Amino acid sequence: MCQLVLIVGLFIILVNSIFSENVDKTREAETSGSDVVKATVEQIRDSKIFPDDNAFLRRLAHVESKDGTDPDTYRTGYHGGIWQVSGFKKVDLPSTKLP
């Protein structure tokens, strides 16, 4: 009986350690580091939304915030994140009649 309890306990510890390391940091607020940037860029690349961007997003994160490690990345009142996105500007395009 004691061996069974020990085996079950070890199994629970093993399962917990496996799953605790697989936390998706890309979904957590105010995370930083090159591992977070690489994972985010990989998710975007896997979605096939953009063609090959020549590592533009990766380089942008490094230039704008040193992959989120710059102390000003998550400053009060600003929510631009690792890529320091201030917002999107609305662009009025002339309407085009479709044939």
- Classify burial at 82, counting beta carbons within 10 Å of its beta carbon; exposed 0-12, middle 13-18, buried 19 or more: buried
pLDDT tens per residue, range 25-71: 888 888 899 999 999 999 888 888 887 888 888 999 999 999 999 99
Distance CA 82, CA 90 (A): 22
- Mean residue pLDDT of the chain comes to 79
**How far apart are the C-alpha atoms of 81 and 75, rounded to whole Å?**
9
**Integer Cα distance of 16 and 24 in angstroms:** 15
State pTM to two decimals.
Answer: 0.60
